[in-house]
Structure 1
Amino acid sequence: MDNSFITLGLMSGTSLDGIDASIIKSDGENNLDIIDNKYFNYPEEFRKRLSSFILNINNRADIEENISTYKSLERDLTLYHSKISKKIIGENKLNIQLIGFHGQTIIHKPKDGYSIQMGDANLLSQELKKKVINNFRANDIKNGGEGAPLTPVYHKLLINKFKINNPTIILNIGGISNYTYCFNDTLAAKDIGPGNVLIDGYLKKTKGINYDKNGDIALSGNINIDIVNQFYEHEFYNVQQKHSFDRNEFDFSFVKGLEFEDAVATLTYFTALIISQNIKKNFDNEIEIILCGGGRRNLALVNHIKKLLKYKIKLIDEFSIDGDFIESQAFAYLSIRSYLNKIISYPSTTNVLNPVTGGEIKINF
């Protein structure tokens, strides 16, 4: 008897560039078939409106004060998710049983008891005539956790699928960097600092560029080691003390006054240093690292990490998995686990007091 579900996972990350969509087939446990992945680029005008809104949100009260803008953005964002969903579902001609809808994180403040993801699950359910699972982080936070990272249970499935038997880290470099450590029955995870957020934020602010393609700008500049040394210890201490981050917690102003290329080079090295030192502090040289997320395409960033760590590092793509879609696949997988009331987070992954399930089912058709 096949207990598998065919599900669609949707993810819009901290880079605010667009939507990743993935269809998988899984039983929510050990079986996994990745059927398709697709990316949808947000229109520039919408991206700017969304980015501008998020930059001005420092707490939940700020959202309430700007609720009409929030609702307008939320409707547009949900309809963009509906558009890519209809496209990928239509192309594959499959009966999608569940949709894992992460939404767009607006503000993440677990210590204050909330993490807000923009996205109207009722509207998406109505648009697609499907069951939608959303609000994945709330139950974890309600039970004393940080609501992040949530991808470790999927990372563990991938490591088993790759038949890796050694201590392994999956290092995801998105807007924020996080790792999942997996070996035997041990599963541990945390955010470990900036990923692309400092670099992309600086590029958008100064030149209107969305990202440093291949790390070319960083490679053309000179690293200002004095500035790195001046700010590194303070930032590393802050990163060490925390388990998860909001994108607004990272500030690139310390490179102000540097030439453009040198600023990008310095931010890139600074990011690599924090990631590397955090991993070194927790793990020894016998560990294997698998990179995923958009940051793995930044050659300057990856080369710095390789030199600073000297560990065995591979791209997840070497295992015939597209490293751009791990999180959208994860939320497709988490939607199944949520629907079946299975555990999605553990004390060792989010600091939750006890293992919990999460997600809410919305049916509006």
Structure 2
Amino acid sequence: MTSTTAIGLMSGTSMDGVDVALIETDGEAAIAFRGSSFFPYADEDRALLRAAIADAARLSDRAARPGALAAAETMVTARHAAAVRAFIDRHGIDPEKIDVVGFHGQTVLHRPERRLTVQIGDGAALAQTLGVEVVYDFRADDMAAGGQGAPLVPVYHAALAAAAGFKEPVAVVNIGGVANITFIAPGAEPIACDAGPGNALIDDLMLARTGAALDRDGAAAAAGTVDESIVAGLMSYPFFTLAAPKSLDRNAFSAAATAQLSTEDAAATLTAFTAAGLARALAQMPQVPAVAIICGGGARNSTLMCELSRRLPCWVKDAAAFGWSADAMEAQAFAYLAVRRLKNLPITFPLTTGVDAPLTGGLIASGRASAS
């Protein structure tokens, strides 16, 4: 099949910046990586996003933009446009060779129990600014059809696993603000779910206690001691008893139980909580995978990687060990999903989001015709 050249854009719930990735793909088995870059948000950008998330908590209309949401949407769109242009310049890419951009936007609210998900970012404005067709708002169709609206990346994980030729079941684990898992067994449909908190609680702790945006390399957690009784209490959240598929909001969990701990002990405990959530999700899968392949920002946290190795029932490897990009995985995935949308191929499935039947998703905004 003919390959399409696609840029994928991802701004995750860690709110650290914009990942940009270029791939060539037919939307099915053929995937060629063509580079990636990261463009960090400024401190004032992250502050605006935090304000927008706070204002989004009261939303009932996903199109409404009260409070900080309107300004945040304008900022997100502008930062993504600037990131694409900088990426093209950095890599010497001919803009006319880009067929489509997959634009995830910034999730500010995800409440599957209310059939409500909000990703800010103006896809139509981005298409006009770049002069390229843009696919955006990927989650809404799935949620309207009864699905969880997340996770969306499993179809890409499955394509990568098929290309790698794994002979045994594997799990691909993405740890951003929220952690999610895709269980892939040869000859079987992938099973996926959000597994619990990823970096969100740790990031929020560090910001509140130290002013830093994250626990870089897991240094604070490495200096602390895990309070296993608190981890056990956090694992009593009803979410962890639910079977896959399931999804959750970035702010679904609270770190209040660690309030009396030192910063180091709290970081260690919340890091262990993330690993424990993933261990529980793996225990709910049909088999123990041969390996858990870790991608997302969590792959750079050495203390979290140690906790995963201690708590998961299988080998734990960074995605780079398989020639994949731990950092650019989700941006690549949204490039891949955009191509699938153009070809009306499904992006969500009964065992990944709980939708009744395989479903395509995303809105398409024209770019070149309106850019002059």
TM-score category by the smaller chain?
over 0.9
**Corresponding residue for residue 84 of structure 2:** 85
Q: Aligned to 1:161, what secondary structure does the other structure show? A: helix
**Relative to 1, partners in 2 of residues 1:135 and 1:19: Cα closer, same or farther, differing over 3 Å?**
same
1:240 maps to: 241
Quick check: 1:352 aligned with 2:351?
no
Q: Tell me the distance in 1 between the aligned counterparts of 2:301 and 2:335.
A: 27
Distance 1:306 1:193 in 2: 17
- The answer as to whether partners of 1:232 and 1:274 remain within 8 angstroms in 2 is no
Contact 1:197 1:250 in 2 (8 A): no
Q: How does 1:261-272 map to 2 (within 5 A)?
A: 261-272=264-275
Please give the alpha-carbon distance, in whole angstroms, between the structure 2 residues aligned to 1:285 and 1:29. Answer: 27
Structure-to-structure mapping, 1:2-17, within 5 angstroms: 3-17=2-16
5 Å-filtered alignment, 1:279-298, equals: 279-298=282-301
In structure 1, the residue corresponding to 2:251 is in which secondary structure?
helix
State the distance in 2 between where 1:280 and 1:341 align: 34
1:63 positional shift: 7.5
Q: Distance in 2 between matches of 1:283 and 1:272?
A: 19
| 8 Å Cα contact 2:62/2:116 also seen in 1 | no
- CA distance in 1: counterparts of 2:52 and 2:194, whole angstroms: 24
TM-score of the pair, normalised by structure 2: 0.93
Q: 1:62 to 1:145 in 2, by over 3 A?
A: closer
Equivalent position of 2:153 in the other structure: 151
CA distance in 2, matches of 1:228, 1:240: 15
Deviation at 1:215, TM superposition (A): 0.9
Deviations 1:18-67 (A, max 9, x none): 00000000011110101010100001111111112213432424888762
Greater displacement, 271-280 / 170-179: 271-280
Instruction: Call closer, same or farther: CA 1:52–1:70 in 2, change over 3 Å.
Output: closer
In structure 1, the partner of 2:45 is 46
* CA distance, structure 2, for counterparts of residue 158 and residue 216 of structure 1: 32
Aligned residue type for 2:309: K
Aligned partners of 2:62 and 2:118 also within 8 Å: no
5 Å-filtered alignment, 1:313-332, equals 313-332=316-335
Q: Which residue among 188, 194, 198 is the counterpart of 1:195?
A: 198
Which residue number in structure 1 is paired with residue 179 of structure 2? 177
Give 3-state SS (helix, strand or coil) of 1:268's partner. Answer: helix
8 Å CA contact retained: 1:181, 1:187: yes
SS in 1 for 2:304: helix
Is contact 1:57-1:107 (8 Å) kept? Answer: yes
2:227 maps to which residue?
224
Q: Is the 8 A contact 1:289 1:313 kept in 2?
A: yes
Give the structure with the larger helix fraction: 1
Q: Distance in 2 between matches of 1:273 and 1:110?
A: 23
In the alignment, is the contact (CA less than 8 A) between 1:57 and 1:63 conserved in 2? no
One-letter code aligned to 2:268: A
Tell me the distance in 2 between the aligned counterparts of 1:262 and 1:21: 35
Alignment equivalent of 2:106, drawn from 101, 104, 107 = 104
Aligned to 1:301: 304
Q: Distance in 2 between matches of 1:179 and 1:354?
A: 20
**Residue ranges of structure 2 left out of the alignment (5+ in a row):** none
Determine the C-alpha separation between the residues in 1 that align with 2:222 and 2:110. 32
Find out whether 1:162 has 2:161 as its counterpart.
Answer: no
Q: 1:208 is matched with which residue?
A: 211
In 2, distance between residues paired with 1:65 and 1:134?
Answer: 17
Q: 1:284: Cα distance to partner?
A: 4.0
**SS in structure 2 at match of 1:249:** coil
Partners in 2 of 1:69 and 1:40 — Cα distance?
A: 22
TM-aligned CA deviation for residue 241 of structure 1:
2.2
Q: Deviations over 1:182-223 (max 9, x none)?
A: 112321100011111111111112211111111111010122
- 1:320 Cα deviation from its structure 2 partner: 1.8
Aligned to 1:255: 258
RMSD over aligned Cα atoms: 1.7
Counterpart of 1:349 in 2: which secondary structure?
A: coil
- Count of equivalent residues: 362
The AA in structure 1 aligned to 2:87 is I
| 1:224 CA drift (Å) | 1.9
Structure 1 position 273 matched with structure 2 position 272: no
Deviation string 1:89-145 (CA, Å, 9 cap, x unpaired) is: 233323101000000001012222221100011110111001000010111111110
- Aligned counterparts of 1:316 and 1:10: Cα–Cα separation in 2: 19
CA contact (8 A) 2:169 2:288 kept: no
Partner Cα separation in structure 1 for residue 75 and residue 286 of structure 2? 43
Letter in 2 for 1:204: L
**TM-score normalised by L of structure 1:** 0.95
Asked whether the equivalents of residues 199 and 211 of structure 1 are also in contact (C-alpha less than 8 Å), the reply is: yes
